[in-house]
Amino acid sequence: MKNSLHHIISASQFKKSDVFRYIANARRFRTESAESSVSTRFQGKTVVNMFYEPSTRTNCSFQAAAHKLGCNVISLTEAASSSKKGESLEDTIRTLGCYAEAIVLRHPERGAAHRAAKASRIPIINAGDGNGEHPTQALLDVYTIYEELAAFGLNIDSPLTEITVCFVGDLKNSRTVHSLVYLLGLLANVRFIFLSPKSLEIPQMLADIQIANGHQVLINTMSLDEALPLCDVLYMTRIQKERFATEFEYETVMANRRDYSIDGERMERAKQQMIVMHPLPRLDEIAEEVDKDPRAAYFRQVENGLYMRMAILEQLLEIHASIYVDNPMHANSSSSLSGEQHNT
């Protein structure tokens, strides 16, 4: 049971109680940060950020989070690593496990984090694996929804609360959306509204899970203008050109991009007590003029990422220490290299 938390691979590994424990810890770090308290608790521990794809937010927030816990950080990109020489992901992970206490991994292939976890003797945190999952983004998104809706008197930890969350854009390929939809379904009574071009619809399996769990799911049954007055949370995403097989398909979708974008005028249709979120980076799906609207929560969402990632790292480093401190020579047992004991 405990083992299932050695790695952070998928939103589906969390129970409701796990999520609220992370939220409580993230809130504690926010308070401590406001008091400028400095931690040396994990001094001498090392976190490796191994990013095979570019990233600003996820990479920097994990680095900042590790620093604020007192850890050292080693930051690697594919270009600077031995993967250029044909080394397998597994061998790279086994190597990094000799120098560090946790690995934050972003990789272009779906399933890469799971493969890494199987090979690793230290905790792996999935920071995005292709069009698979992005569970730490989902946790920080849930934390943001929790904080922001609480300010409106909506408490998502109550079974009586009902909220409407509308996802807009590329719902097929967004790993962030996949992970978040799963987590939200655990926490509250949610009406999901999914709005996307036909070719970028939410995977049917994900929708079916939410329906089976008793949530209401509406896929492209209305326009964004019709959905806006209903939303407690509007979750925007970027439509990525590289996801399309042909230029023609992309152009077809983008011809209607206004249907999946917001600006100041459109925001007039939304409630006063609602929030707009976006995992960022954005292109033009949110006009810059919306930034000044108090309902624009996406930069507060960025800041919440720092505290949530501190909470995630804290828990993994504590579990890791409790397992390994008693057996410091574990590295020299060949069985530890198979990594099976960590397999979730």
In the bound complex, what is the minimum distance in angstroms from residue 83's beta carbon to a second copy? 8
* Residue closer to a second copy, measured from CB, 59 or 173: 59
Site for a second copy, residues 39 to 68, rule: CB under 8 A: 39, 43-44, 46, 48, 51, 54-57, 59-61, 63-64, 67-68
Beta carbons of 99 and 46 less than 8 angstroms apart: yes
In the bound complex, what is the minimum distance in angstroms from residue 145's beta carbon to a second copy? 15
Q: Is residue 278 flagged as an active site residue? A: no
233-236, strands of its sheet edge to edge? 216-219, 189-195, 162-168, 233-236, 275-277
Tokens for 285?
Answer: 């799906």
Site for a second copy, residues 159 to 198, rule: CB under 8 A: none
> Could you count the other beta carbons within 10 Å of the beta carbon of residue 25?
18
CB within 8 A of 201, min separation 6: which ones? 171, 172, 194, 219, 220
Beta carbons of 84 and 106 less than 8 angstroms apart: no
Q: Is residue 85 flagged as an active site residue? A: yes
- The residue range among 160-168, 176-184, 253-261, 292-300 that interacts with a second copy, by the rule CB under 8 A, is 292-300
* Residue closer to a second copy, measured from CB, 84 or 198: 84
Interaction between residue 287 and a second copy (CB under 8 A): no
The HSE-up count of residue 45 (CA atoms within 13 Å, CB side) is 28
Site for a second copy, residues 83 to 112, rule: CB under 8 A: 83-87, 90-92, 94-96, 98-100
Given 27, 28, 57, 269, which residue is catalytic? 57
Binding mask 25-44 for a second copy (x = CB under 8 A): --------xxxx-xx---xx
Q: Is residue 46 flagged as an active site residue? A: no
Element of type H or E holding 163: strand 162-168
Apex CA 192: angle with CA 187 and CA 198, to 5°? 140
Q: Is residue 57 flagged as an active site residue? A: yes
Site for a second copy, residues 257 to 286, rule: CB under 8 A: 280-283
Q: Is residue 106 flagged as an active site residue? A: yes
CA distance 284 to 275: 18
Beta carbons of 177 and 167 less than 8 angstroms apart: yes
Q: Using CA atoms in the order 12, 58, 177, 256, what is the torsion angle rounded to 10 degrees?
A: -170
Given 6, 134, 278, 342, which residue is catalytic? 134
* Residue closer to a second copy, measured from CB, 70 or 203: 70
* Residue closer to a second copy, measured from CB, 153 or 214: 153
Site for a second copy, residues 114 to 143, rule: CB under 8 A: none
Which residues are the active-site residues?
57-58, 85, 106, 134
